[in-house]
Amino acid sequence: MDRLNLQAEERTLLGKKVKNLRRDGKIPGHVFGKGIETEHVSVDGKTFLKTFKEAGETSVIDLKIGTEMVRPVLVRDVSHNPITGLPVHIDFYQVNLSEKVKVQVPLVLVGEDPESVKLGEAIVLQTLNEVEVEALPTDLVEKVEVEITSLKNIDDAISVGQLNYDREKLTVHADQEAIVVKLAPAVSAEMEALLEEQAAEAAEAQAETATGEGVEAPVEGEAEREVKEGEEATAKEEPARTSLK
């Protein structure tokens, strides 16, 4: 596939002044890399979004700053506005096409669901969503696909060491025994109801223990009133004493 192109302009506005660029539909960013001086740039927002949608963070982009020579870069990071979700800053990493780089690559499940899943007996549980890979910039992949059709029975699993990728071009930096995906038992509606019932009973028992096995503590003031009433009743029942002279 031909490399993507993106035009950038040298940026002199820094700090809070970059809001003027965003107002004009541009996104500020900078270019950095091994052995090069960081350079501040800006790109057209709509053009970048279109390019980034196709390139992602693993495809090399030919970035041309002004009229100077093209630089091969990867999009290393994109910061977004927390409210609008629009990009507000871009980090471009300039690469050496003859040196390997490390990036995070997503693991994507593909293939037909196993029969046990269709029958409701099991669920597909993905425990690892991405791995770090090392390769030449032009050999990087967008994703690593994980074929789940081979999973048949409960506890069947696929580990990192079983992933299918070009081992001559890619090196995966992860524990080869780490589980990527497995078949786990599905919880039936009856079992779920039973678990909820047991949880409710446990909560009720705990509440009774906390209040003295169901005996409620008197409301503040009631204890004093009960004592006072008891003293009055005792006074009425006790016979009057006659003083002997």
In tens, the pLDDT along 185-219 reads 887 566 667 667 878 888 888 777 766 554 444 44
Domain segments of the chain: what residues?
4-95, 102-185
Q: Which residues, in sequence order, are bridge partners of residue 27?
A: 43
Which residues neighbour 67 within 8 Å (Cβ) at sequence distance 6 or greater?
A: none
**Cα separation of the two ends of the chain:** 125
Per residue in 111-138, pLDDT tens? 988 888 888 889 999 999 999 999 999 9
Nearest to 78 by CA among 92, 62, 58: 92
- Predicted pLDDT of residue 215: 46
Q: Which CATH superfamily is domain 102-185 in?
A: Ribosomal protein L25, C-terminal domain (2.170.120.20)
Separation of alpha carbons 37 and 243, rounded Å: 111
pLDDT along the chain (245 residues), means of 10: 87 77 90 93 95 94 91 95 91 96 96 87 93 96 94 94 95 96 80 73 78 50 50 49 44
Tell me the three state secondary structure of residue 33: strand
* Superfamily, domain 4-95: Ribosomal Protein L25; Chain P (2.40.240.10)
| 163, 180 contact by CB (below 8 A) | yes
pLDDT score, position 243: 44
